[in-house]
Amino acid sequence: MIRNLSLLWRGRVRSLLQFFCVVLVVCFGLILSSVARAQKTQWQPAHPRSHWHAGHSWGPPWNAPVAHSESFYVGPSKIEVDFGPGQIDLSTRQVMRWVKNAASSVATYYGQFPVLLDRILIVPVPHAAGVLSGTTWGDVGGDPAFTMMRVGQHTTVEDLNRDWMMTHEMVHTAFPTQKDSHHWIEEGLATYIEPVARVQNGLLPAKKIWWDMMRDMPQGYPPPGDKGLDLTHTWGLTYWGGAQFCLLADVSIREETHNRMGLQDALRAIVRAGGTINHNWPIKNALAVGDRATGTHVLEDMYAQMADHAVKVDLPKLWKELGVVRDGEGVRFDAHAPEASIRRAIDAMPKSGRMTPKGFTPGPVRGATVQMVGQPGKA
């Protein structure tokens, strides 16, 4: 009897221990899950051009105070523009024209604005001039996309018309968020598409962007010891190596499709499939969607070649084939070059036409500085 009671007691103790072990495992799993969620939502600069200064009482920038807000639509997509406290020597109307020009350029390139809601925070910077920096995040603060732009107090109309950063940041919304090793595709796309989109929207002359590419693309050449785009993370490879990948992909797709399609068609398909900044996709999945849209394997094959191997693109040969000829501090076009038609197709307005906010015609920001933005009751 005593032996039976002892066995019964030991059995119950074993059961209790097993129960407590299960409870501990479940609790530990919940803790890990909570930590993972916290890490996922922790704000981080989207790319090296971020100049956000931490230490403010409100925490991440999407919690920063707002003095006043404006908004507009491009198709079904809402662009909300919040102005932080402070002064800018421009009117709200002038700043909004700058934002609308960028939104229209991006929507024209992609055939739609990439996300249904893009929140933009304009942060005035005292005693400074010009568009100073931009940073874009996905799926933060309840918004699919959030961009912070730091704009100097003494920014001029000319500064806004010269600016490329607003368009660059909006292009970031049009590709799924990547791991750090693939950051080059995010920056490469924004670097390549920003000027092309502005030409397609009638805001830049074609010769300017082809000269800029001829001058700047060599910054993406492989440095000594380069191991490929996924493994070597220099500034030059991240931005201009990524841009070289995009240019070469654009030309290659057009070659394989007899100029019926280009990189633009691949990227539009990725956006239509939901591949935007508020979603995390493996890079191979995104490139596969693009390739299916063009009926080629250009993106996947180029990635396999360039991800973990140094590849030097023959830019002089490419410019010659496209008919881009240096002419002093600029370029001229050779209409008889073998692939001149490809160059023209890349920067031509797409067949889908220009996409703009209702009643808005893209064009330069005009007018004098008036010291209004950030002045309560005057904007």
User: What does the alpha-carbon distance between residue 183 and residue 30 come to, in Å, rounded to a whole number?
Assistant: 31
pLDDT value, residue 57: 63
Bridge partners (DSSP) listed for residue 324: 333
- DSSP assignment of 260-314: S--HHHHHHHHHHTT-STTSB--HHHHHHHHHHHHTS-HHHHHHHHHSSS-----
Helical (H) or strand (E) element with 184: helix 183-200
| Nearest Cα to Cα of residue 313 among 256, 260, 379, 237 | 237
In a domain, 28, yes or no: no
In a domain, 83, yes or no: yes
pLDDT > 80? residue 23: no
140 falls within a domain = yes
Domain assignment of residue 8, yes or no: no
Residue 244: give its domain's CATH number. 1.10.390.10
Instruction: Give the Å distances, CA to CA, from 97 to 208, 285, 344, 376, 378.
Output: 22, 36, 28, 20, 18
DSSP state of 52: P
CB atoms within 10 A of CB 334: 16
pTM: 0.84
Which whole number is the average pLDDT over 75-104? 98
Distances, alpha carbon 379 to alpha carbons 44, 291, 354, 370, in Å: 31, 47, 29, 10
pLDDT at 55: 45
Question: At residue 331, does pLDDT exceed 70?
Answer: yes
Torsional sign, CA 335, 337, 338, 339: negative
Alpha-carbon dihedral sign for residues 216, 222, 224, 225: positive
Question: DSSP for 213-245?
Answer: HHHHGGGGSPPTT---TTT---HHIIIIIHHHH
Residue reference for tokens 């209702």: 358
Measured CA to CA, the distance from residue 361 to residue 54 in angstroms comes to: 38
209 pLDDT exceeds 80? yes
CB atoms within 10 A of CB 227: 12
Q: Is residue 45 part of a domain?
A: no
Mean pLDDT of 11-38: 41
pLDDT tops 50 at residue 10: no
Question: Does the residue 16 lie in any domain?
Answer: no
Structural domains of the chain, count: 1
Give the pLDDT band of residue 370 (cuts 50, 70, 90).
low
- Quick one: angle between helices 242-256 and 315-322, nearest 10? 40
- Whole-number average pLDDT of the chain: 87
Measured CA to CA, the distance from residue 303 to residue 80 in angstroms comes to 35
Q: Which amino acid is at 131?
A: V
Please indicate, yes or no, if residue 297 is contained in any of the structural domains.
yes
The predicted model gives 194-201 an average pLDDT of: 98
Query: In this predicted structure, what is the pLDDT of residue 367?
Result: 86
Give me the mean pLDDT over the 3-16 stretch. Answer: 40
Q: Give CA 176 to chain center in angstroms.
A: 9
Domain that holds residue 201: 61-347
Domain assignment present for residue 291? The answer is: yes
Q: Token pair of 303, please? A: 């990635």
**How many whole angstroms separate alpha carbon 210 and alpha carbon 324?**
7
